[in-house]
Amino acid sequence: MKTTDLDTSPAAGNGLLDRRFFLKAGAAGGASLLSAAAHGMQREPWMQVPGAGMSELGAPAAAETDLVRTDVSSRPGTTGSGVSRTPLQHLDGIVTPSRLHFERHHSGIPDIDPGRHRLVLHGLVERPLSFSLDALARYPVVSRIQFLECSGNSGALIAPQPVPGTASSLHGLVAASEWGGVPLGALLDEAGLKPGARWLIADGADAAVMSRSVPLDKILDDAIVALYQNGEPLRPSNGYPMRLFLPGWEGNMSVKWLRGLKVTAEPAMTKDETSKYSDLRDDGVAELFSFPMGVKSVITNPSPGLKLNARGIYQVSGIAWSGNGRIRRVEVSADGGRSWADALLDEHVLPKCLTRFRSAWKWDGGPAVLLSRATDEAGNQQPTRAQVLEGRAVNSFYHYNGMQAWQVDGNGELSNVYA
């Protein structure tokens, strides 16, 4: 096969090839050489009968049974205080289908009557305002593809010993969607800010009344009241009929089922930003208001549960993101971080969005430890696990953005390790 002529000189240790390898040619060994006799293609049974008809709604292929959110779990005695996770290792690209977008609820999904729901804007404003869904829909909408990540995502990596898990179970509280909504600055402009206005307290119409304090400068920068996700109205599990959306900031501040926006001089110090979603240091001080999600990446393919079946050339693919803007660079290692090769980034490298990266790797059948590390356009480089944990209290698990190492064993099976 012609691919044996390809330049497979290494870019880093243990088989990582130059990223330009993919620009020149396909992976070696995937295709089968056809015998002359096989040129006549078989007419398979599904070509011999008319197929299924058109329908109102498309559905995934029945064979794709992995396309479900994973690790659906809730606190004992509840069904609605928990999570479900995006199956990252079965996805590609950057858009997450809405039905697979992770969930994190604090008292389940409220059954809101969209005709009755109101968003109330009050506090330090000249003109307190109330918005129905119909009223909001007449305002100008902006639409951008951006990530949303729970601040507790990847928190299992603080465990002293690596816990078994998949890309989904360990890192599946992140997803990217096209979010469309009304810039909140336009609504504040209509209401008119009073002197001293510095914060906005957002609360949700769920039974837990999720409440978070947001600095007004973030609101005026890029906050929206989201009405649309991936082109269609929000789904109940993502805040229908409206949610706050704060690009790049920890997920629970993007308050779902948005009901109240109160302009204030000071933050409210709600339960959701003091006893929860704050970062305890090992000196006993709790850091509040850690808003942006740090630069991060994870290899999704291969990853635990996706076996390498034969030695040869593989595409190593994953996602990288940063609350600070665009991803500038992703590097991949196959030798546990001793050497690194630059990965290719897909065409769409959007600010505060998942960015897909890919590397060519020639697996020789032996043990390997795969790692990725991302750098964002602000120059922040994804830290090691040790760097993330430095200065943290035991069990302080929010905002974990350390590098993920996947051990590959001689059978081609992968597992979570600390490298």
Chain residues 146-175 in contact with its own copies, contact rule CB under 8 A: none
Answer yes or no whether residue 110 interacts with its own copies by CB under 8 A: yes
When computed from its CA atoms, the radius of gyration of the chain, rounded to whole angstroms, is 24
Answer yes or no whether residue 346 interacts with its own copies by CB under 8 A: yes
Q: Show contacts of 314-317: CB within 8 Å, 24+ apart.
A: 314/27, 314/360, 314/361, 314/362, 314/363, 315/22, 315/27, 315/358, 315/359, 315/360, 315/361, 316/343, 316/358, 316/359, 316/360, 316/361, 316/370, 317/92, 317/356, 317/357, 317/358, 317/359
Bridge-partner residues for 368, per DSSP? 408
Identify the residue among 80, 162, 337, 412 touching its own copies (CB under 8 A).
80
Return the number of the residue (187 or 403) whose C-beta is nearest its own copies: 187
Answer yes or no whether residue 400 interacts with its own copies by CB under 8 A: no
Answer yes or no whether residue 37 interacts with its own copies by CB under 8 A: no
Answer yes or no whether residue 211 interacts with its own copies by CB under 8 A: no
Answer yes or no whether residue 58 interacts with its own copies by CB under 8 A: yes
260-289 binders of its own copies (CB under 8 A): 260
Identify the residue among 148, 150, 268, 360 touching its own copies (CB under 8 A).
360
Identify the residue among 84, 166, 324, 407 touching its own copies (CB under 8 A).
84
Answer yes or no whether residue 65 interacts with its own copies by CB under 8 A: no
Return the number of the residue (344 or 414) whose C-beta is nearest its own copies: 344
Return the number of the residue (49 or 386) whose C-beta is nearest its own copies: 49
Q: Contact at 8 Å (CB) between 295 and 411?
A: no
Answer yes or no whether residue 317 interacts with its own copies by CB under 8 A: yes
Q: Give the burial string for 83-109 (b: 16+ CB within 10 Å, else e).
A: bbbbbbbbbeebbbebebbbbbbbebb
Q: Which stretch binds its own copies (CB under 8 A): 65-73, 194-202, 266-274, 283-291?
A: 65-73
Both structure tokens of 344 = 């290719």
Answer yes or no whether residue 95 interacts with its own copies by CB under 8 A: yes
Answer yes or no whether residue 90 interacts with its own copies by CB under 8 A: yes
> Which residues are within 8 A (CB) of 262 and not within 5 positions of it... i.e. 6 or more apart?
122, 123, 200, 201, 203
